[in-house]
Structure 1
């Protein structure tokens, strides 16, 4: 991920005209239906019926959902680079060989944006709770170290890219929608295996026929609680 972000950023810095003419036109953020997105996001609120420790945050969570459904397209310099915008475990393939090779899949939502979006989304959704709950800052620092090392190797002055400003980027994108984005995908990742709300055998289905509900399990409850209390602690909600 750090290589993906740093190479794109360096290319944009070193040859801005080429980037603007040949790459930027293809970096259009996916724009979905806001109402359909809100319906999906509201459906996950049922999880909080099982989490007493988060009851005091429901009003803030609802406000976050309203803003998350708007597909924020903002970015801030100097961080703007090509981002995946849907960087979770289902979109990554890693080989078992050493050193492992990584393939990034599903590039249909790539856009110009903050690398912090991909970083926090991957960490919140796709790292096991026992590995992340007390080590989020460790993983953020690790990514930052790899990212800035790559930039230096590509001849980019990293004086603008302080860790303090990187953490501010993480906070900003989490407030603008990544906290909610992470909850939505967590509901899928930790869903009961073999259960689906979509009958894919019906070639004529439409969005009205899709049940946005899901079966709540203990893994949902534990992960939603951790993500939400972490969001409260870091003022993301």
Structure 2
């Protein structure tokens, strides 16, 4: 960057002092062969409150001057850790940084999966490009997908059948490639395959499940006809985390894949044809909590949180079949060498892993139903403060959440997911 060039830095939120224009200079030189200097640098909030709890998301916009005096504008999405005590308690003591994990996912494993498809003549994309900046500070830097026409959707409304099947197709492609990768190269390292289901993640799992039981019970006490479900939840209290860890244990006899493990509408972007608005593709984002195991983890999580409420349960089995057909198609395409799973085996796994549905209720389903509020934050989700108490009360008591709960909780109960035996 030229010393004589004035850099305009515009920020609307507090940004760590190490996040500055000079940090991006080498990346820009690699991107633009006629790079001369950086004209301006802006850091703005990349998401709205409630869209992303686990990390601080910035949208970085830079205006670049080239040697012919023309300018180009480029933008990135930058994920950073929160500086709060609540965040450090949840993530700070982990053996492996969630930022290193996600960067490895994007730069190693996503690339491996894409190459598997290229080897059989198919181009499949799973997400944005990822970059590494020369800094010891924790970060993940991603391509901003908006200039390419990608959009997020209003998560509270949920998505229709077309969008749901698009995401399930992408999950099937991802799962198929991840299984073929294991069949050819062996298992993933533990920091990639464990997700939250280890000692590092147990505290956060407990906060999200057993820790939220009082709020769920308080809400159920105001809902007519939910007495039996309230008794189920009361009977589970204190053992939910252990049950989740039990079903998360890998059964080598099952069909296992690398689950995305956080597949909901805040972590999905859709590409539409500019002229017609036709849905063209869906991308998954946020690969920091992947978990090796049954496909049921992703299916339960996504299908209980993201389709429109009126089709969520009504078409659950239909959606599983649509996913299954795509899974088998892509396993065959990639010449999977092991036994193909049957649809019955997938359904058995969905029943066996039902407690993961309760985790989805406490987390993304509540987040999906939440009205926009400035108090939605990682700190308020977990901290023992009046502000945290107030936010969690709002999160689990809204009429929208009750509508979701009224549909999903009895369905889980009827499938045996809430039995404590």
Question: Unpaired runs of 5+ in structure 2?
Answer: 1-170
Alignment partner of 1:8 is 2:183 = no
Alignment partner of 1:50 is 2:219 = no
What secondary structure sits across from 1:90 in the alignment?
helix
C-alpha separation in 2, matches of 1:144 and 1:166: 8
C-alpha separation in 1, matches of 2:342 and 2:206: 38
Aligned length: 228
Deviation >4 Å, runs of 4+: 157-160, 197-200
Residue 238 of structure 2 aligns with which residue? 66
> What is the TM-score of this pair, normalised by structure 2?
0.49
- Matched-pair contact (CA < 8 Å) for 1:83–1:111: yes
> What is the TM-score of this pair, normalised by structure 1?
0.84
Residue 10 of structure 2 aligns with which residue? none
C-alpha separation in 2, matches of 1:120 and 1:182: 8
Residue 105 of structure 1 aligns with which residue? 285
Alignment partner of 1:191 is 2:370 = yes
Judging changes above 3 Å, is the alpha-carbon distance between structure 1 residues 134 and 149 closer, same or farther for their aligned structure 2 residues?
same
Shift of 1:223: 1.2
Residue 88 of structure 1 aligns with which residue? 264
Residue 91 of structure 2 aligns with which residue? none
Shift of 1:46: 2.4
Task: For residues 53-91 of structure 1, give each alpha carbon's deviation from its aligned partner in whole angstroms, at most 9, with x where no partner exists.
Answer: 221122222344534324523122332211112211111
Residue 416 of structure 2 aligns with which residue? 235
Alignment of 1:1-237 (within 5 A): 1-16=171-186, 19-20=187-188, 23-30=189-196, 31-33=201-203, 36-37=207-208, 38-70=210-242, 71-72=244-245, 73-76=248-251, 77-97=253-273, 98=278, 100-156=280-336, 159-174=339-354, 177-184=355-362, 185-194=364-373, 196=375, 198=377, 207-209=383-385, 210-211=388-389, 212-214=392-394, 216-237=397-418
Judging changes above 3 Å, is the alpha-carbon distance between structure 1 residues 197 and 41 closer, same or farther for their aligned structure 2 residues?
farther
Judging changes above 3 Å, is the alpha-carbon distance between structure 1 residues 183 and 67 closer, same or farther for their aligned structure 2 residues?
same
Shift of 1:52: 2.0
The Cα RMSD (Å) is 2.6
Greater shift in the superposed pair: 75-84 or 142-151: 75-84
Shift of 1:25: 4.8
- Matched-pair contact (CA < 8 Å) for 2:221–2:230: no
C-alpha separation in 1, matches of 2:404 and 2:207: 24
Structure 1 or 2: more helix by fraction: 1
Q: Which has the larger Rg?
A: 2
- Matched-pair contact (CA < 8 Å) for 2:263–2:301: yes
Instruction: Tell which has more relative contact order, 1 or 2 (C-alpha 8 A, sep 6+).
Output: 1
Shift of 1:28: 3.0
